[in-house]
Amino acid sequence: MSDVETGTITTKVPARLDRLPWSRWHWMIVIGLGTVWILDGLEVTIVGNLSAQLAKPGSGLDITQAQVAGVAAALYVAGACSGALFFGWLTDRYGRKKLFIITLVVYLVATLMTAFSFSAWWFFLFRFMTGFGIGGEYAAINSAIDELIPSRHRGRIDIIINGSYWLGAAGGALLTVPLLNDLPLNIGWRVAFGLGVVLGLAILLVRRHVPESPRWLFIHGRGRDAEQIVEGVEREIGTEKLREPEYEITVHQRKSIGFVRIAHTMVALYPKRTVLGLSLFIGQAFLYNAITFGYAQILSTFFQIDTYTGYYFAVIAVGNFLGPLLLGHLFDTIGRIPMISFCYIGSGVLLLGTAWLFNQGVLTAVTLTACWSAVLFVASAGASSAYLTVSEIFPMETRAMAIAFFFAIGTAAGGIAGPLVFSTLVESGVPGDTALAFAIGGVVMIAAGLVEVLLGVKAERRSLESIAAPLTTAER
| Averaged pLDDT, 77-87 | 87
**By mean pLDDT, which of 226-240, 255-269, 435-449 is the weakest?**
255-269
**Position 354 in a domain:** yes
The model's confidence at residue 290, banded by pLDDT at 50, 70 and 90, is low
Please state, in angstroms and rounded to a whole number, the distance separating the CA atoms of residues 365 and 354.
13
* Residue 168: predicted pLDDT: 81
In a domain, 230, yes or no: no
State how far the Cα of 381 lies from the Cα of 346, in Å rounded to an integer.
11
The DSSP 8-state label assigned to residue 20 in this structure reads P
What is the Cα gyration radius of the chain?
A: 22
Residue 219 lies in a domain: no
Residue 31 lies inside a defined structural domain of this protein: yes
Looking at residue 92, what is its pLDDT?
A: 82
When divided into structural domains, the chain yields a total of 1
Would 249 be classed as within a structural domain?
no
DSSP string covering 231-254: HHHHHHH-GGG-PPP---EEEEEE
- Write the CA distances from 122 to 304, 415, 419, integer angstroms: 29, 22, 20
Angle at 115 between CA 114 and CA 121, to 5 degrees: 40
Residue 392 and residue 460: Cα distance in Å, rounded? 10
Report the run of H or E that residue 253 belongs to, with start and end.
Answer: strand 249-254
Query: Is residue 46 predicted with pLDDT exceeding 80?
Result: no
Nearest CA-CA partner of 249 in 15, 5, 6: 15
Q: What is the pLDDT at residue 32? A: 84
CA dihedral 460, 276, 149, 101 (to 10 degrees): -170
For residue 3, tell me if it sits in a domain.
no
Does residue 244 belong to any structural domain of this protein? no
Q: Tell whether the model's pLDDT for residue 209 goes beyond 90.
A: no
Residue range of the domain that includes 417: 9-214+255-466
The domain that holds 403 is classified in CATH as: 1.20.1250.20
Are the C-beta atoms of 118 and 54 separated by less than 8 Å?
A: no
Q: How confident is the model at residue 231 (pLDDT cuts 50, 70, 90)?
A: very high
- d(CA 308, CA 181) in angstroms, rounded, equals 9
Question: In this structure, is residue 248 part of a structural domain?
Answer: no
Q: Which residues are registered as beta bridge partners of 9?
A: 251
For 384-410, write each residue's pLDDT tens digit. Answer: 999 899 989 998 888 888 888 888 888
Burial class (CB in 10 A: 0-12, 13-18, 19+), 381: buried
